[in-house]
Amino acid sequence: AQIAPGAVHVPDWLSPAEQHAIVIACRDWATGPVPMRAARLPGGQRMSVRTVCVGWHWQPYRYTRTADDAGGARVVPFPDWLVRLGRRALTAAYDDPVAASRYTPDTALINHYDDQARMGMHQDKDEKVREPVVSLSIGDACVFRFGNTETRTKPYTDVELHSGDLFVFGGPSRLAYHGVPKTFPGTADPATGLKSGRLNITMRVTGLD
């Protein structure tokens, strides 16, 4: 369903087997050279979600190749299977096979939400290009708040995201404010392999080299 121009929600897109494979990959990354951590904001506060990155390392509010805020190791390369998954995601969301075949995400941010974690309303504008963002949800359901491009307040649309859902944000929606005001603890199917909480994978094109 199109929530706004360029913002497309595809419920139940990932199969249980794909969700399980992604959980295993995220667990490997989370315990790899740059461990999953709660990023520290410039003001000093820690984010309530924990994040691990592949391709580029995101720290509020820039991308680096080495995690100088998390031990200094080099982040793992962006895997080809994730590029292919990103192209399938664009194919599912938009009627534009040529754009889908050219889509080449080079970074993914993997956020884990425990039962208390939230994501305040923000824009994603640390990327230098405005290619679509692909979002995959696994584990507990949540309320995703999709706002407008002008303010972090109303008007916004609340959408429930469930395990396996795909959301693509491109075109006029690419710079919309968005956030996660709550999750629904204990709603996940344990078959994904995720023990608790909610996992969100966002693929992006940084435009960096």
Count CB-CB contacts under 10 A for residue 152: 15
- Tell the smallest beta-carbon distance from residue 204 to Fe ion (Å): 9
- Tell the smallest beta-carbon distance from residue 77 to ligand MD3 (Å): 20
Q: Does 126 bind Fe ion (CB under 5 A)?
A: no
Q: Does 174 bind ligand MD3 (CB under 6 A)?
A: yes
> How big is the chain, counted in residues?
209
- Tell the smallest beta-carbon distance from residue 178 to Fe ion (Å): 6
Contact 124, 60 (CB under 8 A): no
Cα 17 to the center of its chain, rounded Å: 19
Binding residue (CB under 5 A) for Fe ion from 69, 114, 124, 160: 124
Residue with smaller CB distance to ligand MD3, 100 or 161: 161
Q: What is the residue type of 24?
A: I
Q: Does 29 bind ligand MD3 (CB under 6 A)?
A: no
The H or E element spanning position 167 is strand 166-169
Residues 120-159 that bind ligand MD3 (CB under 6 A): 124, 133, 135
50 three-state secondary structure: strand
Q: What is the residue type of 22?
A: I
Residue with smaller CB distance to ligand MD3, 124 or 160: 124
- CA 2, CA 16: separation in Å to the nearest integer? 24
Residues 9-48 that bind Fe ion (CB under 5 A): none
- Tell the smallest beta-carbon distance from residue 145 to Fe ion (Å): 11
Burial class (CB in 10 A: 0-12, 13-18, 19+), 200: buried
Site residues, Fe ion (CB under 5 A): 124
Site residues, ligand MD3 (CB under 6 A): 109, 111, 119, 124, 133, 135, 167, 169, 173-174, 176, 178, 180, 200, 202
